[in-house]
């Protein structure tokens, strides 16, 4: 079954909006502090509105948090009935980004990144829908009880993936309880996750999980690496000095780890085909970095009818292993950033449609755990801190490949919305939620100490020190202007996105 086919099944009976900023529908002007705009009905105009049918010059009518019409500039009728107009001139008006892969670490590790700082960073970066991973919070979201713990402490909003781990994989009632409680799907690791209460799964666990997910028509997200011990042993060369070399870390997680995991996983995804025992479920491979055998196997599975998609991340598209300096542990992540030839093949696969979408894999921590002073790649905590920068990073590095605004909207809005079951998001179209980002593609800025960053620890981001193009001017969530010119709306008005 293809990706579009499996989404036709009803996934959510209740869709709630994301972020700290959510305003209930009203026919009256709003005085809510959730938005910089004091009214509930208005028009957004621009010469560059990204719609599913191309880029138009025109206007988007918003009422009660939804898009109620999209008209081209030559249609003058909208001017006759427009009282409140926000004109963005030549700036790009695009569907808000949907990030299906972020770690906000609350409860338990809010000192790494919490919902308050994380969702502010998302809004400043044009992200209007955010789905939180089941780890690195403490406890991990692996049961109905741990999900409720996370939901109870929120004063903002987010959607959630649950965890598929050995303790619940063979417990149908436990998995069903977690899914009924509202997670949008499940996530599993095929290698050690680094978090004690989130152990890795094998093909048997995944097979069982998919059969439960089939009933709910929700996806399984998989970290596809299998640890091959014969290839992870390092020679003892220079001790600590050797650990400061990125090439040393790169050898510990070779492409064969991804290849082995994908090969094993694809034996299970056959069950997702039409008529298979897990028909209705879907497998999504997160943060692919290997473009050798792994990508070819995924392409083959798609052509055979497996319900499967794959994402990569901006850091794999922006950086290459040859560029990473000794001791610069800001660049440590798993799978690792590979060489420049691999990066070129990733771009080719993305532009050609073999990679379906992008995500941030925003994975922050405290600066002390990155061991920036020691520069030890083998001991430092892995993860790229990136949530606020993914739109300008994708655009800045993608322009040389000729990427279009519609491709950007597909990778960051349309396809992730489908994966997460957010059927009223991901496109500027009649009836959809008014989730919109406004940005200037040609405006450059430097990520330095003078740049305002909203995520918890900007100093650990691998993007600091870069010059980027693509400044976010405004972010609307359900019609609320929640971010404007470097400032956030004063109030947090959110409810969780829960599937029912």
Q: DSSP labels for 154-171?
A: -SS--EEPEE--HHHHT-
| pTM of the entire predicted model | 0.91
pLDDT of 15 > 70? The answer is no
Note the CATH number of domain 96-422+443-469.
Answer: 3.20.20.140
Is the Cα torsion angle 82, 84, 90, 95 positive or negative in sign? negative
Q: CB neighbours of 234 closer than 8 A, spacing ≥ 6?
A: 242, 248, 251, 252
- Average pLDDT, stretch 292-300? 95
Supply φ then ψ for residue 394, to 5 degrees. -60, -45
Kindly report, residue by residue over 126-151, the tens digit of the pLDDT: 999 999 999 999 999 999 999 999 88
Look at residue 399 and give its three-state secondary structure: helix
Angstrom CA distances, 21 to 24, 161, 235, 474, stand at 10, 20, 52, 14
- Domain positions in the chain are 96-422+443-469
Q: Would you state the pLDDT for residue 494?
A: 66
DSSP symbol at 382: P
- Other CB atoms within 10 Å distance of the CB of residue 31: 8
Kindly report, residue by residue over 106-115, the tens digit of the pLDDT: 999 999 999 9
* Structural element, H or E, at residue 475: strand 467-477
Kindly report, residue by residue over 374-412, the tens digit of the pLDDT: 999 999 999 999 999 999 999 999 999 999 999 999 999
DSSP symbol at 30: P
Kindly report, residue by residue over 335-375, the tens digit of the pLDDT: 999 999 999 999 999 999 999 999 999 999 999 999 999 99
Q: Would you state the pLDDT for residue 492?
A: 74
Kindly report, residue by residue over 160-172, the tens digit of the pLDDT: 999 999 999 999 9
Q: Would you state the pLDDT for residue 14?
A: 28
CA distance 269 to 441: 39
CA distance 304 to 352: 18
Look at residue 272 and give its three-state secondary structure: helix
Kindly report, residue by residue over 443-486, the tens digit of the pLDDT: 999 999 899 999 899 999 999 999 999 999 999 999 999 999 99
CA distance 95 to 70: 13
Structure tokens at 128: 């209007």
Q: Would you state the pLDDT for residue 156?
A: 60
Give the distance from CA 91 to its chain's centroid: 24
Position 5 confidence tier, pLDDT thresholds 50, 70, 90: very low
Kindly report, residue by residue over 268-283, the tens digit of the pLDDT: 999 999 999 999 999 9
């Amino acid at each position: 079954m293809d990706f579009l086919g499996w989404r036709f099944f009803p996934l959510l009976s209740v869709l709630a909006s994301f972020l700290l900023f959510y305003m209930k529908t009203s026919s009256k002007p709003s005085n809510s502090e959730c938005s910089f705009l004091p009214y509930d009905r208005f028009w957004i105009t621009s010469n560059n509105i990204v719609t599913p049918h191309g880029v138009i010059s025109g206007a988007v009518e918003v009422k009660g948090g939804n898009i109620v019409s999209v008209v081209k500039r030559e249609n003058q009728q909208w001017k006759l009935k427009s009282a409140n107009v926000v004109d963005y001139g030549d700036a790009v008006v695009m569907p808000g980004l949907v990030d299906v892969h972020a770690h906000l670490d609350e409860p338990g590790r809010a000192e790494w990144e919490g919902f308050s700082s994380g969702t502010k960073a998302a809004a400043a970066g044009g992200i209007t829908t955010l789905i939180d991973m089941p780890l690195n919070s403490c406890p991990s979201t692996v049961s109905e009880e741990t999900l409720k713990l996370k939901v109870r402490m929120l004063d903002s909003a987010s959607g959630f993936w649950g965890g598929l781990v050995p303790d619940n994989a063979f417990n149908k009632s436990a998995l069903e309880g977690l899914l009924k409680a509202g997670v949008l799907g499940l996530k599993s690791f095929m290698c050690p996750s680094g978090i004690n209460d989130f152990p890795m799964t094998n093909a048997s666990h995944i097979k069982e999980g998919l059969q439960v997910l089939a009933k709910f028509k929700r996806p399984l997200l998989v970290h596809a690496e299998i640890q091959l011990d014969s290839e992870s042993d390092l020679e003892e060369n220079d001790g600590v000095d050797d650990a400061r070399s990125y090439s040393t870390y790169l050898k510990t997680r070779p492409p064969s780890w991804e290849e082995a995991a994908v090969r094993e996983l694809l034996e299970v995804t056959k069950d997702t085909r039409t008529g298979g025992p897990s028909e209705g479920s879907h497998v999504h491979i997160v943060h692919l970095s290997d473009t050798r055998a792994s990508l070819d196997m995924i392409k083959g599975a798609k052509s055979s009818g497996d319900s499967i998609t794959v994402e990569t991340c901006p850091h794999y598209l922006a950086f290459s292993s040859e560029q990473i300096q000794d001791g610069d542990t800001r660049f440590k992540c798993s799978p690792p950033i590979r060489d420049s030839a691999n990066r070129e093949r990733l771009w080719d696969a993305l532009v050609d449609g073999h990679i379906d979408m992008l995500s941030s894999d925003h994975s922050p921590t405290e600066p002390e755990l990155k061991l920036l002073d020691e520069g030890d790649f083998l001991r430092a905590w892995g993860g790229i801190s990136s949530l606020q920068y993914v739109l300008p990073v994708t655009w800045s590095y993608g322009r040389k490949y000729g990427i279009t605004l519609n491709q950007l909207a597909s990778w960051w809005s349309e396809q992730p919305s489908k994966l997460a079951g957010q059927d009223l998001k991901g496109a500027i179209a009649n009836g959809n939620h008014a989730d919109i980002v406004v940005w200037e593609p040609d405006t450059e800025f430097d990520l330095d100490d003078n740049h305002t960053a909203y995520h918890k620890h900007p100093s650990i981001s691998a993007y600091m020190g870069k010059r980027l193009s693509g400044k976010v001017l405004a972010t609307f969530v359900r019609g609320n202007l929640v971010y404007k010119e470097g400032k956030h709306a004063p109030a947090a008005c959110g409810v969780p996105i829960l599937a029912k």
